[in-house]
Amino acid sequence: MGRVGLTTENVVRAGAELADEVGFEQATPAELARRLGVRTASLYSHVANAHDLKTRIALLALEELADRVSAAIAGRAGRDALTAFANVYRDYALAHPGRFAAARYRLDPATAATGAGVRHARMMRALLRGYDLAEPHRTHAVRLLGSVFAGFVDLESAGGFEHSSPDSAQSWTAILDALDSLLRTWPTTS
């Protein structure tokens, strides 16, 4: 893509593709400029610096993931919604490892408040309404699910499950069954 084709949107998309190929931390303006066949300075008309590039990739990843989750959980409740939500996270992480890492990039509060991360939290809380959890238990459950999804995907992506049986897909299903059971019987006393 020549300089004439550079826009902020396609610079960020190219950055996201680069992150998927080489890893989010390695998706730098210099490497992206090499891939696009332009000088690094040409990118700075579209992104302010490396932090801005990473922030924009993170926002793109959060938006893509939120759109996929929203479509997957529409009309579902309980275990069906939990499974759909979780599978979208896992599938996205496996297909787009750099973007998935970007989705967990620390954003400043103002940027986070306007990004799709807010949609993720709302969708997770909506999913949990099917389990009749009141606060603060719903917040605890949101944190548990986020930790399990991210932790499993990180280990799976790093090859942590390749050398043992059963296969990771079976473990994923068993974990989702266990989470559903836990959420249905969540202890509500402190």
pLDDT of residue 1: 43
pLDDT at 190 over 90: no
Residue 162 CA to residue 134 CA, distance in Å, equals: 38
Residue numbers of the domain that contains 86: 8-184
Q: Provide the 3-class DSSP secondary structure of residue 163.
A: coil
Give the mean model confidence (pLDDT) for residues 126-140: 93
Tokens 């190219």 correspond to: 14
Q: Indicate the Cα dihedral angle 90, 91, 94, 98, nearest 10°.
A: -90
pLDDT of residue 189: 72
Confidence band, pLDDT 50/70/90 cuts, at residue 188:
confident
pLDDT at 8 over 60: yes
Mean pLDDT of the chain: 94
Give all strands (DSSP E) within 111-158, no chain letters: none
Q: Is residue 141 part of a domain?
A: yes
Q: Is residue 170 part of a domain?
A: yes
pLDDT at 46 over 80: yes
Q: Is residue 101 part of a domain?
A: yes
Q: Is residue 3 part of a domain?
A: no
Cα 172 to chain centroid distance, Å, stands at: 17
Q: Is residue 190 part of a domain?
A: no
pTM: 0.91
For residue 160, give the CATH number of its domain: 1.10.357.10
Q: Is residue 177 part of a domain?
A: yes
pLDDT of residue 5: 78
pLDDT at 3 over 70: no
